[in-house]
Structure 1
């Protein structure tokens, strides 16, 4: 009976609510398996077919496995069987592939639910679903094997198997070109509605090709004659699938290996072996994501049904050894190799095997007898848990509880005792223990909380005030030490009663750890000739000196995760600017006093080529690009296993394939909140730690050559067949051989060991460029870290004769002294040029001049910041002196023909004269009214414009300051490169930023002030950026202090500060003018 679960509607036949005024509203909730339908069907059965000898099957969409008993129970059921759609509806959730784990779970639930009280109707296809072989399977290269595999897995289950027309010859979905070829009203309505919304015709047809009901309604394909032999009419009501010429009954009857003849053998096999009628069904290999395996067991036989439901090779291991003499059915055309008591198997795509072995049914009654005892044990444990989890519980109570639990467990394991003895023993033990717990609780109530600690008692964690700073802890805190060892450290504060509390702040790089590590080093490896590396998550670049300093450091190197943690913030892409900032900060911090450990991947992070890069069309170029950018930096490069061949993230279909407890916990917690399985798996595919833990891919053999075992502890990434060491060793352009060339280049050129690192093109959003400089050489490392074309310009011209490494497979065009470059996605180039190190003495010689400049500016600023000052306080001579001083201060390495003595003399003279004239001007100003005219020719520092917005009218009382603001647009903000040490630079820059960024505040912006993405065909570095990013380091200092300030988002620090200052002044100007206009 079709659609029987929809035969009754809700009482009163209410109209459907439509609060959103939708054009269509789903009515399923009002007529699918609604309340009262069972009583209705009971009456229906009584009045129609109840007393007749007929077999009844109901199409019962929406009826679950636990409800099915009421529908098909032998005595009270309404039908003999029902069609359930829980399994076939999986195609709607997994188009193009089958979720094998979900399919096994659903089918097993129905098999076990009706095992003793009903009967299943097992089927694969029907008239309302597309063809399974096309939606779940592979109807092309594995067409035959796929059809026979699905046939086997359901035909040998408990229940009556139904075969839908055409399924037995492997009929497939159809692809008619026009919507008019599809009679199904649902398909037509869908098409017309979506087309009206602007959806493309081809896109809509692709959906119909996969999901349309007419896929299963094309005429039966009997032979290759007109209309596939279905009708002699010129045209049938629906078109014929064009593949009828090679998929039809007539041809398959002649082919002993056809799908049709396999179905015949399968049907005969089922009829001849009643184990497939009456045998108990049990699922095996439940967590395998490819193999659907189950057994059917009778008193004397056991059948093993093993099917690979995927188009990939599958490996698995059984506890039961099986032999080829027990093999009774397979769909392989090639003979199965002889085997005896084999437990490990390797199945081809869609391979099936059925074994039947002799089996002696073991006595299981003792397990049934203990069921009540097990329930009692659970009740007792629940009671004990409730009674003993109180705050005033003691270790004595815990001991007794543990003893009782152990007693209950032991009793359950003693098979010699019968059910009554077990229950009696547990009951007595329970009563005794609960009585002792109550007595202990009463005694505790009368004790003072300040009594001396009894080591046998359980003490609240708050009392464990361990003094780690006073030595020796093992002497002064012996008692508490014992408590810590036995009961654990104090718990984390959790005022919000969260289920989980992050503990990082309580144990990651906490205060006092350096002293602890100093002692640790002294007591263990301090005097030994070893290399030490510490995994130091949470240690910043400014702290790293204390960890790796040659004299006082605790290790030779540390692994820093500041860079690799970027993947958590930029899933699917790399923030190149942030990456450059972090790596440069670490390079410069340890330049003279430590040593870096540089790396890209480790066992706790997913694969970089998949998270930051592009592991598809640019897989090789991406892997070699990231390799280059870190391998040539200052420090010891570390290569994580598989990185050298470009191993990628893995996409296992089920959470059970991931051993990582963090991934499993995340999945289970979020699934419980209602998050969809597919959505959760997508997150794990990107972020899971197991991405980097799959076995090393050595070759194309079993387990990628990692192990000779039949199954590794974690699955092998399926792409091992094309990404493996064996293949890459033979390919001179492989990722592996590129790593070898890269290592050789590094070893043969000590510039990459000892050369000074300097960042170039710091503002570029695609190119990570840096130099390594020695006394005689300079290396340019240029890498495009994006999948887009990148253009840039250097000051230094480079020639193809200086090119020493590239990952491009195409020859690099000849070039000489080239400054403008266009890099392909993930292209890298390394140039090494001759370089004469310039004498740095002029830097030192001008230091005093710079100090003098700062003193003069300070004097001028103080002299012009007084409220009663006027524009006449700066003369033309002062203005010229100030401009010269600003020029020198802005560029301390400003080329001048004057000697140090001349510069200092000129600056001193200018200082004296300027100070004298300022003092004179101030004296004159005191005798003048405040409303004097302002000389527009004079430039006054911005600090003098202290506008009083509170006193009115501003246009009268602050006329001169208003005029000053109007002319402030021409001022150049003073931005100095502080030549002091890195720590001092950090403090001075942070101070400057905090001054600039207070009301209004700003964040750094790129020099082009554009939020748009770079166009592939557009130069990504503007002329201003090129000027700013000169690689001629002799003419410009790079102020690395900016790298220490995390409040700025990118590298245009100087330009950003200038823009922000001008923006602040303009905002002030606009406010003043608006207020002045309002008052006028």
Structure 2
């Protein structure tokens, strides 16, 4: 039986600060903008705010390239603005989780500026430097953002490792001094009142110290190398050391972003007795539509695989771990465009997907705009895009004479800017996000999809989210109940039971726009049931067992019953 913890019972709202709310008209979201919307977030019912990076940064990768861990970037405001946000959250009974980005820094960080100045500088070993081999890079690893993972620096005539942009050099976690600097910084923020950390690409911090070549990949001129810089040999040592030096001293929430981790591996990371992490963001589900060569190759996902992955994580983390529940974030397309239908059935499918996330065991995460059904964007030209990963992919595609129409289409479906267009507050110019010119264009559909419109519609996605969150706060069953998959082989319906003490919950979801027939399995017995929530307002509220022997589900229909 899961142990009760405050971070298991919360609902987290993720904010991408650049795009949430601009308070001063410079076109970029900021801390005061976020503070101005705290009443909105409180009314939504969320109790934890996860803030993407607001630290000092040149913004090559929108704040994930940090130049000073203990100060606020100019575009976001000041430390006093951050304190006002913190106090505003805490006075409302809400908590604040900050992004922890410690796999790499900005190349403008003081440590790196010192490190590159000479080979005998005390900071040299803060980063991973190597001489070349036969006039080439130290090995054949490729960057997540395209090209080699090594950058030649003429000043000292060596290469430094960067798993992401060349402006994001990787820290050397083998160096104890680096680790202790990071732990001191973490304690500093926790002493300022932070309630936890989301740990960016945390399982990349431990590289194979031998830095071996990766085996050949036919699809790329460079080699991925991920097996040597993901889940490295000393990763668990570092995490346990971090727990001893920092995490054990505070009652906080931790969630690690982890590539190449399945449920069996996750069970070790989040085992409550191992003292590493509380939860993980895994990629197994969100890479369901990746092709053989990765993200930029399209593939049709199947519900059978979707159910298999979720069920595997639900079962394996049920006793000694905990799940994070999400289908979108700042790095992935809008979930209603990806797993639902963002045109004819946008409202119904957005509600159905929300029902899934808030009725599984784990902590739900809401990405900004998800609660009003914001969709992917289709910009008319490449100049409207801002994401470094997207722009690098486009440039490489053009160099390799890729089909322009095909490149544009995959960007529209997979690009990270889909999640980064400004929050749509109302139907005024720039969707009420800014009085100036937004740093990235607003999705043109903002006049129809916005918070103001949703507030006025009693059947809106926004009101549905509020009810889901209220139910989760009301019923421990929704938080701690165990999970039992029904109708394993059905190609359209995803249905499951949740049990907790004397209560049973039945969840029925039609994942597609075609009607589907649900039949209650004979092993499920009950006398009467009461509808807790449904995404079609005319759904029958009171049922008996025979009512569920055979029911026709409408497109993307969702029903949740409390059974007796």
Shorter-chain TM-score tier: 0.5 to 0.7
Aligned partner of 1:508 in structure 2 is: 230
Q: Does 1:603 align with 2:325?
A: no
Q: Choose 1 or 2 for highest CA Rg.
A: 1
CA RMSD of aligned residues (A): 3.4
TM-fit CA distance, 1:809: 3.2
**Contact residue 530 and residue 543 of structure 2 kept, 8 A:** no
Match of 1:533 among 255, 260, 264: 255
Aligned partner of 1:1061 in structure 2 is: none
Match of 2:510 among 784, 793, 810: 784
Q: Does 1:522 align with 2:244?
A: yes
Are the structure 2 counterparts of residues 501 and 741 from structure 1 closer, same or farther at C-alpha, using a change threshold of 3 Å? Answer: same
Are the structure 2 counterparts of residues 572 and 609 from structure 1 closer, same or farther at C-alpha, using a change threshold of 3 Å? Answer: farther
TM-fit CA distance, 1:392: 7.5
| Distance across 2 between alignment mates of 1:714 and 1:552 | 43
Aligned to 1:545, the other structure's residue is in SS state helix
Aligned partner of 1:755 in structure 2 is: 481
Are the structure 2 counterparts of residues 826 and 491 from structure 1 closer, same or farther at C-alpha, using a change threshold of 3 Å? Answer: same
Aligned partner of 1:923 in structure 2 is: none
TM-fit CA distance, 1:735: 0.5
| Distance across 1 between alignment mates of 2:154 and 2:305 | 54
Match of 2:435 among 708, 718, 728: 708
Cα deviation, 1:675-722, whole Å, max 9, x if unaligned, reads 33222111111111111111111111222111222x111111000111
TM-fit CA distance, 1:518: 1.0
Aligned to 2:563, the other structure's residue is in SS state strand
| Distance across 1 between alignment mates of 2:422 and 2:503 | 42
Are the structure 2 counterparts of residues 797 and 573 from structure 1 closer, same or farther at C-alpha, using a change threshold of 3 Å? Answer: farther
Match of 2:558 among 828, 839, 849: 828
Q: Does 1:740 align with 2:462?
A: no
| Distance across 2 between alignment mates of 1:491 and 1:764 | 45
TM-fit CA distance, 1:568: 2.1
| Distance across 2 between alignment mates of 1:686 and 1:668 | 17
Are the structure 2 counterparts of residues 472 and 738 from structure 1 closer, same or farther at C-alpha, using a change threshold of 3 Å? Answer: closer
Match of 1:670 among 387, 393, 397: 397
| Distance across 2 between alignment mates of 1:629 and 1:592 | 21
TM-fit CA distance, 1:499: 3.6
Aligned to 2:552, the other structure's residue is in SS state strand
Aligned partner of 2:288 in structure 1 is: 566
Are the structure 2 counterparts of residues 468 and 807 from structure 1 closer, same or farther at C-alpha, using a change threshold of 3 Å? Answer: closer
| Distance across 2 between alignment mates of 1:677 and 1:576 | 31
| Distance across 2 between alignment mates of 1:731 and 1:474 | 51
TM-fit CA distance, 1:537: 1.9
Aligned partner of 2:423 in structure 1 is: 696
TM-fit CA distance, 1:815: 4.9
TM-fit CA distance, 1:643: 0.8
Aligned partner of 2:376 in structure 1 is: 649
Q: Does 1:587 align with 2:314?
A: yes
Are the structure 2 counterparts of residues 544 and 553 from structure 1 closer, same or farther at C-alpha, using a change threshold of 3 Å? Answer: farther
Aligned partner of 2:455 in structure 1 is: 729
TM-fit CA distance, 1:601: 0.5
User: What TM-score, normalized by structure 2, do the two folds share?
Assistant: 0.60
TM-fit CA distance, 1:772: 0.7
Q: How many residues align?
A: 371
| Distance across 2 between alignment mates of 1:745 and 1:592 | 23
Aligned to 1:539, the other structure's residue is in SS state coil
Cα deviation, 1:259-280, whole Å, max 9, x if unaligned, reads xxxxxxxxxxxxxxxxxxxxxx
**Contact residue 798 and residue 831 of structure 1 kept, 8 A:** no
Residues 337-376 of structure 1 mapped to structure 2, 5 A cutoff: none
TM-fit CA distance, 1:800: 7.8
**Contact residue 571 and residue 611 of structure 1 kept, 8 A:** no
Aligned partner of 1:81 in structure 2 is: none
Are the structure 2 counterparts of residues 657 and 474 from structure 1 closer, same or farther at C-alpha, using a change threshold of 3 Å? Answer: closer
| Distance across 2 between alignment mates of 1:495 and 1:514 | 28
Are the structure 2 counterparts of residues 793 and 811 from structure 1 closer, same or farther at C-alpha, using a change threshold of 3 Å? Answer: closer
**Contact residue 572 and residue 611 of structure 1 kept, 8 A:** no
Aligned to 1:542, the other structure's residue is in SS state helix
TM-fit CA distance, 1:745: 1.2
Residues 767-916 of structure 1 mapped to structure 2, 5 A cutoff: 767-794=493-520, 795=522, 796=524, 802-812=530-540, 815-817=543-545, 818=547, 819-834=549-564
**Contact residue 573 and residue 611 of structure 1 kept, 8 A:** no
Are the structure 2 counterparts of residues 676 and 460 from structure 1 closer, same or farther at C-alpha, using a change threshold of 3 Å? Answer: closer
| Distance across 2 between alignment mates of 1:468 and 1:693 | 31
| Distance across 2 between alignment mates of 1:619 and 1:701 | 22
Stretches of structure 2 lacking an aligned partner (at least 5 in a row): 1-131, 137-152, 162-170, 181-208, 292-296
Are the structure 2 counterparts of residues 681 and 554 from structure 1 closer, same or farther at C-alpha, using a change threshold of 3 Å? Answer: same
| Distance across 1 between alignment mates of 2:350 and 2:299 | 15
TM-fit CA distance, 1:654: 0.7
**Contact residue 755 and residue 772 of structure 1 kept, 8 A:** yes
| Distance across 2 between alignment mates of 1:809 and 1:673 | 52
| Distance across 2 between alignment mates of 1:759 and 1:555 | 27
Are the structure 2 counterparts of residues 470 and 640 from structure 1 closer, same or farther at C-alpha, using a change threshold of 3 Å? Answer: closer
Aligned partner of 2:339 in structure 1 is: 612
Aligned to 2:223, the other structure's residue is in SS state coil
Aligned to 1:773, the other structure's residue is in SS state strand
**Contact residue 217 and residue 223 of structure 2 kept, 8 A:** no
| Distance across 2 between alignment mates of 1:459 and 1:629 | 47
| Distance across 2 between alignment mates of 1:460 and 1:597 | 34
**Contact residue 572 and residue 612 of structure 1 kept, 8 A:** no
Cα deviation, 1:560-605, whole Å, max 9, x if unaligned, reads 1211111325958541111111111111111111111111111111
**Contact residue 546 and residue 553 of structure 1 kept, 8 A:** no
For CA contacts below 8 A with separation 6 or more, give which structure has more relative contact order: 2
Aligned to 2:367, the other structure's residue is in SS state coil
TM-fit CA distance, 1:799: 7.8
Residues 342-421 of structure 1 mapped to structure 2, 5 A cutoff: 391=134
**Contact residue 624 and residue 807 of structure 1 kept, 8 A:** yes
TM-fit CA distance, 1:492: 4.9
| Distance across 1 between alignment mates of 2:357 and 2:133 | 55
TM-fit CA distance, 1:770: 0.8
| Distance across 1 between alignment mates of 2:172 and 2:281 | 29
| Distance across 2 between alignment mates of 1:607 and 1:692 | 6
| Distance across 1 between alignment mates of 2:160 and 2:271 | 42
TM-fit CA distance, 1:608: 1.7
Report which of the two has the higher share of helix.
1
Report which of the two has the higher share of strand.
2
**Contact residue 797 and residue 816 of structure 1 kept, 8 A:** no
TM-fit CA distance, 1:741: 0.6
Are the structure 2 counterparts of residues 728 and 468 from structure 1 closer, same or farther at C-alpha, using a change threshold of 3 Å? Answer: closer
**Contact residue 351 and residue 461 of structure 2 kept, 8 A:** yes
| Distance across 2 between alignment mates of 1:458 and 1:669 | 25
TM-fit CA distance, 1:622: 0.5
TM-fit CA distance, 1:391: 5.0
Are the structure 2 counterparts of residues 574 and 644 from structure 1 closer, same or farther at C-alpha, using a change threshold of 3 Å? Answer: farther
Are the structure 2 counterparts of residues 706 and 457 from structure 1 closer, same or farther at C-alpha, using a change threshold of 3 Å? Answer: closer
| Distance across 2 between alignment mates of 1:541 and 1:775 | 26
| Distance across 1 between alignment mates of 2:359 and 2:349 | 16
Aligned to 2:249, the other structure's residue is in SS state coil
TM-fit CA distance, 1:671: 2.2
Aligned partner of 2:270 in structure 1 is: 548
**Contact residue 214 and residue 225 of structure 2 kept, 8 A:** no
TM-fit CA distance, 1:814: 6.8
Are the structure 2 counterparts of residues 786 and 669 from structure 1 closer, same or farther at C-alpha, using a change threshold of 3 Å? Answer: same
Q: Does 1:640 align with 2:367?
A: yes
Aligned partner of 2:352 in structure 1 is: 625
